[in-house]
Amino acid sequence: MAQKIIAGVTIDVNEEGYFTNPAQWTKEIAVEIAREEGIQLTDKHLAVLDFLRERFSKGEALTIRSVGNSGIIDIKGFYGLFPGAPMKKAAKVAGIPKPASCV
């Protein structure tokens, strides 16, 4: 298992840089990962990240559609917050494994 130092903390990650232990996540780490992805976190970003972490902790499937139906943001807005590959980027910043729906 690989490790990476983010915001001064050693984090366990896989070969793609996704957390293998979501319990290691903090907001400070999220800010640093987002910065690496070219994203400046806002309250809306944090609300989406909280939603994803909660769904993941319940073992629920994470999809772009579920984010769009969350009541937090619509799908177009989700793409605006995490441009390019919104679910992959959001999962990485949220400190959870890459969702199965992502290739």
Q: Which residues are catalytic?
A: 102
Q: How far apart are the first and last CA of the chain?
A: 21
Q: What stretches of the chain adopt beta strand conformation (E)?
A: 2-6, 9-13
Residue 33 belongs to what H/E stretch? helix 27-36
